[in-house]
Homo-oligomer: A and B are copies of this chain.
């Protein structure tokens, strides 16, 4: 049974706070093992990568087979059925169209003193995208990571994906091809992250690493952060649905299960002022859990973390949702635009009953890499900005230096940074001498 609360309950606040604090992730401490793997790859390069791949993925590689050849990729993607190819291409096109609009603008202006000020965006030169092997090897995630990088203008984009026993998902290779990935390495785990960050004779280092992975990959990303940029460390998925009497309880039930089926640590929450709807959604979930393919995973998630809250009204639901700051927020209500305006913290909002969250996982256009574990309070989903950086520009005229230089000198002195002050003073003296 999920957690079932009413905001009018006397103990609501303490129970809600307890649910907010539930520790859903049990990350094993692999940090020492990962540190050793990274050291090994830094010291021995390809040889270490090849040995570790033999050990963990039961796959014997040589430097010249670390990457898929063009012919191998062609052969694999030829096996993809036409319907799936077309679906991937539609998804790629829509993701690209959305992300192109995220490209930020450069700026340059002259202020009243005559100083030119501004900034310029430039892409990261090279990016590496980690793609898990096995069950979590999602071609949609390849598109969601690779397309923003290409839109940003990243010159060199590579994928690292373990192929345990040599098995590869042809859809992953097709997604990489469609997205414009330059090279796909048959390497996974901490050894892949180390090779991407530090480089080997065969694998050139990159400047930024993104993409999901297991505990080893996450720990390795944390360790190489600083040497390269990384994206967020993703936790288990979440969905919060705010529904009113106009919502379809069957649809709401399936939507909640669509996140619960990801992971037994995923969390699905329903907030509604309609107690009757709440009961019908719970009943529908119980029914669906009898036949769902991933019923063990989804059932465990719903039992341990599933939460239903009957609220006084929609405004209260919006306030509680902000305290959760959910990764995915569905608004299955009569006026979703009005309700969305009351939301401050959410990774992605899906407005109205015709917008199941799963649309956003594949073909909606927005990115599906989103902040989890309440981090939407302070962070955003993946975007082209993750593959760009900004250089600020400043160019003083003689007039502007004369106008603002003395203040800089004063502040430098107050901070006991003499050379800072002198660097301004030397120019001010030269200006005065020419007068």
Chain A residues with a Cβ under 8 A of chain B: 83-84, 86-88, 90-91, 94, 97-98, 101-102, 104, 107, 109, 111, 115-117, 119, 122, 124-125, 135, 138-140, 171, 207-208, 226, 228-229, 233, 248, 250-251, 254-255, 257-258, 260-262, 288, 292-294, 298, 336-337, 340, 343-367, 370-371, 373, 375-381, 383, 385, 389-398, 400-401, 404-408, 410-412, 414-424, 426-427, 430
Query: Which single residue of chain B is at the shortest CB-CB distance from A329?
Result: B391
**Which of B378, B385, B421 is A208 in contact with, Cβ under 8 Å?**
B378
> Chain B nearest CB: distance from A236 CB in Å?
13
Chain B residues within 8 Å of A366, by CB: 117, 119, 392-394
> Chain B nearest CB: distance from A187 CB in Å?
21
Chain B residues within 8 Å of A359, by CB: 394, 396, 401, 404-405, 408, 424
Q: Would A122 and B363 count as touching, CB distance under 8 A?
A: no
Besides the contacts A359-B408, A363-B408, what 13 more A-B pairs have beta carbons closer than 8 Å?
A86-B407, A98-B117, A115-B365, A117-B364, A124-B378, A139-B414, A208-B378, A260-B419, A345-B389, A346-B391, A359-B396, A360-B392, A366-B393
Q: Would B354 and A367 count as touching, CB distance under 8 A?
A: no
> Chain B nearest CB: distance from A155 CB in Å?
10
Q: Would B140 and A415 count as touching, CB distance under 8 A?
A: yes
Chain B residues within 8 Å of A371, by CB: 389
Known interface pairs A111-B97, A365-B111, A396-B359; A377-B124 also in contact (CB < 8 Å) = yes
Known interface pairs A356-B423, A419-B292; A390-B381 also in contact (CB < 8 Å) = yes
